[in-house]
């Protein structure tokens, strides 16, 4: 993956999460200018202090709210890439999922990304890349993942359609699709007895993911040097999405 300097301004939504903050660290180490959006203002300021980014609160995650926040925050400055790292995790079968839980999963994971897609043509005026965070669950049937799998599969469809719509504008859309990654969001799951060891054993790599694994893939897709890739979903999963070793 490319590791050279990045000259440009990049927006990270969900910059306070494990993956979002790792993306900020990766891009800042390569000289990128950062605009960091998040809901936890204390964590957001800590990420900004570590990376030199400017910040804005992400108070709404519905599509129009995200669009309007990006318009207001990024007006007047050309943007070279956007990393959408907003997400949630719900592990329940459909029959135990409430309507409000379903709405929250779709709004957090998919509607917020649609808001990015609405704003992107106004912000990325000289070409660039948008990257969404999907999941291996979008393509592999995993038990108790119905809501999150549906939302993440929607993300991948959104990225492909938007990539086609905006190809002539040189705006690229991609997804990364991780397997299980250690983070605050997955901490309660991984703390259950035997879960972390079982997940590592199931993965061809022999371990679960780290935020930095995903961040490097996102940085690769944001890099202008990767401009001959478009509409792709990149599995960042230790091989879990494609391999079944003996």
Measured in residues, the chain has a length of 246
Cα separation of 107 and 61, whole Å?
Answer: 7
> Left (φ > 0), alpha (ψ -120 to 50) or beta: where does 242 sit?
alpha
Copy the structure tokens of residue 59.
Answer: 């108070």
Q: Exposed/middle/buried for 45, CB within 10 Å: 0-12, 13-18, 19+?
A: middle
pLDDT score recorded for residue 3: 65
**Is residue 115 domain-resident?**
yes
Domain count along the chain: 1
Q: What is the pLDDT of residues 200-214, one digit of tens each?
A: 999 999 999 999 999
Here the CATH number for the domain that contains residue 195 is: 3.40.50.720
**Is residue 199 domain-resident?**
yes
Cα separation of 151 and 6, whole Å?
Answer: 31
Cα separation of 132 and 175, whole Å?
Answer: 5
**Is residue 21 domain-resident?**
yes
pLDDT score recorded for residue 246: 73
Cα separation of 127 and 79, whole Å?
Answer: 9
pTM of the model: 0.96
**Is residue 1 domain-resident?**
no
pLDDT score recorded for residue 75: 85
Give the range of the structural domain holding residue 58, as residue numbers without chain letter: 9-236
**Is residue 186 domain-resident?**
yes
**Is residue 243 domain-resident?**
no
Beta-carbon count within 10 A of 11 CB? 28
CA distances from 199 to 181, 193, 203, 238 (A): 10, 12, 6, 11
pLDDT per residue rounded down to tens, the chain (246 residues): 556 789 899 999 999 999 999 999 999 999 999 999 999 999 999 999 999 999 999 999 999 999 999 999 998 889 999 999 999 999 999 999 999 999 999 999 999 999 999 999 999 999 999 999 999 999 999 999 999 999 999 999 999 999 999 999 999 999 999 999 999 889 888 899 899 999 999 999 999 999 999 999 999 999 999 999 999 999 999 999 999 887
Cα separation of 132 and 218, whole Å?
Answer: 9
**Is residue 41 domain-resident?**
yes
Of the candidates 69, 176, 71, 88, which has an alpha carbon nearest to the alpha carbon of residue 133? 176
CB within 8 A of 118, min separation 6: which ones? Answer: 63, 64, 66, 67
**Is residue 25 domain-resident?**
yes
Beta-carbon count within 10 A of 114 CB? 21
pLDDT score recorded for residue 2: 55
């Amino acid at each position: 993956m490319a590791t050279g300097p990045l000259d440009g301004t990049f927006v990270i939504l969900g910059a306070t999460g494990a993956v979002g903050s790792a993306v900020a660290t990766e891009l800042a180490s390569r000289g990128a200018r950062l605009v960091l959006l998040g809901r936890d203002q204390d964590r957001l300021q800590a990420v900004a202090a570590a990376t030199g980014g400017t910040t804005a609160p992400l108070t709404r995650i519905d599509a129009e709210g995200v669009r309007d926040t990006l318009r207001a925050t990024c007006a007047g400055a050309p943007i070279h890439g956007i990393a959408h790292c907003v997400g949630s995790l719900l592990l329940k079968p459909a029959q135990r999922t409430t309507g409000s839980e379903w709405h929250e999963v779709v709004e957090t994971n998919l509607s917020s990304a649609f808001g990015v897609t609405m704003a992107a043509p106004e912000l990325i005026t000289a070409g660039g890349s948008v990257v969404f965070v999907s999941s291996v669950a979008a393509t592999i049937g995993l038990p108790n993942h119905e809501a999150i799998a549906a939302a993440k599969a929607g993300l991948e469809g959104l990225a492909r359609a938007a990539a086609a719509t905006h190809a002539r504008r040189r705006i690229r859309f991609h997804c990364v699709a991780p397997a299980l990654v250690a983070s605050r969001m997955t901490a309660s799951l991984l703390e259950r007895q035997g879960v972390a060891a079982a997940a590592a054993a199931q993965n061809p790599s022999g371990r679960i993911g780290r935020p930095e694994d995903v961040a490097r893939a996102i940085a690769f897709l944001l890099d202008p040097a990767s401009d001959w890739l478009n509409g792709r979903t990149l599995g960042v999963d230790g091989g879990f999405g494609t391999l079944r070793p003996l």
